[in-house]
Amino acid sequence: MIALDDCTITFGRNEFQLQSIDWGIEKGQVWAIVGPNGSGKSALAASLCGEGTVSVGARQIKTNRISVISLEEQESLILREKARDDSDITDQIATGTPVSEMVDEVSVNEALKRELISIFGLEELLKRGFRKLSTGETRKLLFVRALTSEPELLVLDEPYEGLDVETVPRVRDILSRMAETTTMVMVLNRIDDIPDFVTHVLRLEHGRISQQFRCDDVSSTRDVLRQIGQISSDEITLPMPEIPIEVSLNPDGTLVSMANARVAYTDNIVFEALNWQVRPGSHWQVKGPNGSGKTCLLNLITGDHPQCYVNDIAIFGFNRGQGETIWDIKRFLGFVSTSLHWDYRLSVSVRKVVVSGFYDSIGLYQKATDKQMQIASDWLRLLGLSEHANQPFSSLSYGEQRVLLIARAMIKHPPLLLLDEPCLGLDEVNRSLVLALIERICNEGETTVVYVSHHEEDKLAVIENELVLG
């Protein structure tokens, strides 16, 4: 079906290269591609769709029925819908193309379409505009579009990311059933996510294939790959902030206090009657299904949700809507989210991305102090990214970018750290590093963490409080 014969494939202006790729995909196979961040997993998957320039060797793609599920495909739909936004002309708030129309654009299997819409619980969303979907709901839409197009080859780049815990087993069942008739390639960062129906495994390192083999015993294969990717984080230490931050508390001693909080749109109520307090040193994990309002809740705190001003919210001694600026709040916050990651598309160096955390800015627009630059270098050394310090942010892989944004959020040791799926898209090595850093900050007692995560294996023992939405 696809043959890469000793290929060197170059991608984009940053000229990342896959080198000496000798690989073939035959009909009926299910491949898992694994390896550390920056090894080229997503690039290799993209090459199956004809992306990248082959300078050495030969690439043969013998099918044009290829469907892709990936963060990049998800972002592509988001950007497409933004380009269609005519609200500046009509003075109407654009909600995007209806979900039903987006499914019908590519669907050729009506029976499977109805089944998947039911399995994913999308019936009530069919008339909703795409731009009103949550991240997880958008991911489900991608699945329906890809699977109902009846591809000969299905390429899945981190298929479970962004899905709630109730949906993941349903997706696994669907893919297991489809694997009987559909050839698949799955890019997986989590070794434990390698499904039992995988037939072959390929591991990349530094843009080259280091191992590829038939997978007869999936359990043993997971153990071997886990050993390959294992690192120790016992020596982790955190660089000190430039200046310790002194934060004002609310009169009741809380950092954040919400009374009867409510977020609603014309066609649905996200949540209501929410009473919640975050006290210093009282760390929280926020859980709930897709669309339950987890990201909305964090945006009420940051001030990035317009309904924060119609709710009774006290934060850092300010009552929302009483004259405070967004910068009065954000100087006490560290924040990492998928939307922030998508917004960070500037041509700025890796080191300056970290330094920008001192100024709560997207990009760096003033001269940093020598001490700030040194602290940023210390963070890069800790994360193993020192050699990339002067490279553009866009040159890093998705996982490396996420690690960098977490360092940006942590660099000032904020009184409150908001983490919206901080491990999204990270492999086991970087995930372990990130979780260790979060745990260390929690244990230091100076920063309070509010942590959104779907994955039970990412739960930290030091975070004892749970808020379940939906």
Q: Is the distance from CB of 450 to CB of 417 less than 8 angstroms?
A: yes
Same fold for the pair 1-65+151-230 and 256-468 = yes
Per domain, the residue ranges of the chain are: 1-65+151-230, 71-149, 256-468
Measured distance between the N- and C-terminal CA atoms of the chain, rounded to whole angstroms: 44
Read off the pLDDT of each residue in 204-216 and give the average, rounded to a whole number.
85
> Domain spanning 256-468: which superfamily?
P-loop containing nucleotide triphosphate hydrolases (3.40.50.300)
Strand order in the sheet with 16-25: 16-25, 2-11, 53-61
Read off the pLDDT of each residue in 344-360 and give the average, rounded to a whole number.
85
In percent, the amount of the chain with pLDDT more than 70 equals 93
Read off the pLDDT of each residue in 348-367 and give the average, rounded to a whole number.
86
* DSSP label at residue 467: E
What's the longest Cα–Cα distance across the chain? 69
Task: Give the rounded distance of the alpha carbon of 82 from its chain centre.
Answer: 20
Read off the pLDDT of each residue in 73-95 and give the average, rounded to a whole number.
70
Q: For residue range 263-283, what is the model confidence (pLDDT) as tens digits?
A: 998 878 999 999 999 999 999
Predicted confidence (pLDDT) at residue 304 exceeds the cutoff of 50: yes
Which class is 1-65+151-230 in CATH?
Answer: alpha beta
Q: For residue range 400-421, what is the model confidence (pLDDT) as tens digits?
A: 888 888 889 989 989 999 999 8
Output the pLDDT for position 277: 97
Which is it for strands 2-11 and 16-25: parallel, antiparallel or unpaired? antiparallel
Neighbouring-strand partners of residue 211: 203
CA distance 259 to 247: 21
CA distance 438 to 451: 9
Predicted confidence (pLDDT) at residue 456 exceeds the cutoff of 60: yes
pLDDT-derived band at 331 (thresholds 50, 70, 90) equals: confident
pLDDT-derived band at 5 (thresholds 50, 70, 90) equals: very high
Read off the pLDDT of each residue in 53-68 and give the average, rounded to a whole number.
94
pLDDT-derived band at 227 (thresholds 50, 70, 90) equals: very low
Question: What is the CB neighbour count within 10 angstroms for residue 88?
Answer: 8
Q: For residue range 116-154, what is the model confidence (pLDDT) as tens digits?
A: 999 888 998 999 888 888 888 888 999 999 999 999 999
Q: Give residue 462's region: left, alpha or beta (phi > 0; psi -120 to 50).
A: alpha
DSSP 37-95: TTSSHHHHHHHTTT-SEEEEEEEEE--S-EEEESHHHHHHHHHHHHHT--HHHH-S---
CA distance 120 to 133: 13
Query: One-letter amino acid identity for 423?
Result: C
- Average per-residue pLDDT for the chain: 86
Output the pLDDT for position 130: 87
Predicted confidence (pLDDT) at residue 458 exceeds the cutoff of 50: yes
Output the pLDDT for position 216: 82
451 vs 84, which has greater pLDDT? 451
Output the pLDDT for position 91: 52
Read off the pLDDT of each residue in 319-331 and give the average, rounded to a whole number.
82
CA distances from 93 to 62, 88, 304 (A): 44, 9, 17
Output the pLDDT for position 233: 42
